[in-house]
Amino acid sequence: MARTRGGDDGPQDADPGQFARIRQVLIRAVERHCPPALSAQREDLVQMALVRLLERPAHEGIAGRGASYLWRVAYTVVIDEIRRLGRQQRQAEQLAGGEGGTPGPEARSEILDCIAALQERRRTAVTLHLQGFRVAEVATALGWTEKQAENLVYRGLADLRICLEGGDA
């Protein structure tokens, strides 16, 4: 990573002009890939792309990354957001019985009862997942390995499905 001061590996040590250039490339890439339905979230998507770049290990850095790499990062951020929104919409439709609206009071009560009946770790993982957290984010938030989080989320969802279908959780 290019540095203006010696010693630190933090992003604050990179050339501000370089970050401005990277940000401009990301803005153009997000604008190009972003569907009209997400146009109000373009700035958020650019920020998410910047965060992904900064999460790279320090030895990889972002200084030497070309425009094609930056476009690829922006593209994956937009696609991930589209997928996340699609998952949320499908989950809402499933919970509402396919009607496309929010569940009524009885359905919400049943859902909450089924979630409460889950084993504690599964309940925590499923709750975060239903709030839109990806498995990797659940793992990070709870200090678990990604595999632990994945198992707890998917087993918890299976238990929840069984409970909602009238079986035992």
Mean pLDDT of the chain: 80
When pLDDT is cut at 50, 70 and 90, the band that residue 125 belongs to is very high
Structural domain includes residue 95: no
Structural domain includes residue 3: no
Classify burial at 59, counting beta carbons within 10 Å of its beta carbon; exposed 0-12, middle 13-18, buried 19 or more: exposed
**Could you give the angle at the alpha carbon of 36 between the alpha carbons of 80 and 46, nearest 5°?**
50
Cα–Cα distance, 34 to 14 (Å, whole number): 28
Domain end residue (candidates: 54, 85, 116): 85
Percent of the chain with pLDDT over 90: 30
- Entry pTM: 0.49
Kindly list the distances between the CA atom of residue 97 and the CA atoms of 91, 131, 163, in Å, as whole numbers in the listed order. 10, 18, 15
Q: What is the pLDDT of residues 14-24, one digit of tens each?
A: 677 888 888 99
Q: What is the pLDDT of residues 70-80, one digit of tens each?
A: 899 999 999 98
Residues 107 and 53 in one domain: no
Cα–Cα distance, 119 to 152 (Å, whole number): 10
Residues 41 and 77 in one domain: yes
pLDDT the model gives residue 9: 47
